[in-house]
Amino acid sequence: MSASAASLSSQRQRVLSLYRQILRLARQWPGRPGVADPATEAAYIRTEAGTLFRQHKSLSDPVVIESHIAEAESRINLALHYNIPYPRMPNLPPGCLATPGQPKRRTARGMDDALPAYMKSYKSGYAPKIK
Amino acid sequence: ISQHAIQRCSQWRCYASASSAGLSQDKITERVMTVIKLFEKISAEKLTIESHFMKELGLDSLDHVELLMAIEDEFGFEIPDQDAEKLNKPSDIIKYLCEKMEVDYK
């Protein structure tokens, strides 16, 4: 990602304003009374955003960066819609679990392919460690 | 009422509120430097008012965003994105805050 002397490139600006938007969300996170503590969830949002953004900070292909920007925007919209900051785990597609005689690598690829775009950072090979 | 009179009135009003709220450039400087020192990614030994966050203190742009969020929390108002990307040294932040809170900056 190149930065000109006077201003940042527009993709970089979008990434930083996304990060800022997520941190502002964490500040005012309402939580779910009786179910989820706002402070815990806000801390989770900050940790997850920090981990994932830093994990991908040395990417250089603009197409890949664009797909990660879309991932971040989807995660923000899902969190706002459901009021749940955690990743929305998808279901396994049918026929995905190994049965006797089925080769195991198809299972792993089937599970990976089933992950939607907003779970891009959680596909095998990426898995971030978030406490 | 002339424009000049209106400007003088608003300046007088704001100056009174800024000083009666106990705001001065020194107080702002002190609060800004405290917030920056408490930021765990910055080592206090290398920190001066003119040290550049990215070039001298080793912050990356994500750390810079987090630092400005801490400043926003301390002073109670939001800093828009296009202003934020220009605040690269503590002195820039102090000057910006003085302008926003209408405190005299020397």
- The pLDDT assigned to B46 comes to 85
Please tell me the predicted confidence (pLDDT) of residue B7. 57
A130: nearest Cα among A14, A64, A52? A52
Looking at the predicted structure, is the pLDDT value of residue A105 above 70? no
Q: Pick A107 or B14 by higher pLDDT.
A: A107
Q: What's the average model confidence in pLDDT over A105-126? A: 75
Proportion of chain A above pLDDT 90, given as a percent: 48
pLDDT for B90: 92
- Give the start-to-end residue ranges of the domains of chain B: 3-100
Domain residue limits, chain A = 2-89+118-122
Query: Is A27 at the interface with chain B, CB within 8 A?
Result: yes
* B73 touching A (Cβ < 8 Å): yes
How confident is the model at residue B8, as a pLDDT? 55
Task: Give the Cβ contact number of residue A49 at 10 Å.
Answer: 23
Whether ipTM > 0.85 holds is no
In sequence order, the 6+-apart residues with CB closer than 8 A to the CB of A103 are none
Which parts of chain B register pLDDT below 50?
A: 10-17
| Structural contact between residues B62 and A54, judged by C-beta atoms closer than 8 angstroms | yes
Task: Using the predicted structure, report yes or no on whether residue A96 has a pLDDT greater than 80.
Answer: no
Nearest chain A residue (CA) to B63: A50
Residue A15's Cβ-count burial label (10 Å; 0-12, 13-18, 19+) is: buried
**Residue of B39, B77, B81, B87 best to disrupt the A interface, most CBs of A under 10 A:** B81
Distance (Å, whole) CA A27 – CA A22: 9
> How much is the pLDDT for B62?
94
Instruction: Convert the pLDDT of each residue in A40-77 to its tens digit.
Output: 999 999 999 999 999 898 888 999 999 999 999 999 99
Asked about B83 being catalytic, the answer comes back as no
Q: What is the DSSP letter of A33?
A: T
Q: Verify whether the Cβ–Cβ distance B81 to A54 is below 8 Å.
A: no
* Structure confidence at residue B13 (pLDDT): 45
Alpha-carbon distance of A16 to A22, in angstroms, equals: 10
* Residue pair B57/B51 in contact by the 8 Å Cβ criterion: yes
pTM, full prediction:
0.79
Q: What is the pLDDT of residue B18?
A: 52
Lowest mean per-residue pLDDT among A46-50, A91-95, A112-116: A91-95
Query: Across the interface, do B60 and A17 touch by the CB < 8 Å criterion?
Result: no
Using the structure block, give the residue that is written with the tokens 């806000």.
A42
Q: Which chain B residues are within 8 Å of A12, Cβ to Cβ? A: 61
Give the CATH H-level superfamily of domain B3-100.
Answer: ACP-like (1.10.1200.10)
* Residue entry with tokens 């990417």: A59
H helices of chain A, in order, are 10-27, 38-55, 62-82, 104-114
What pLDDT sits at residue A97?
A: 67
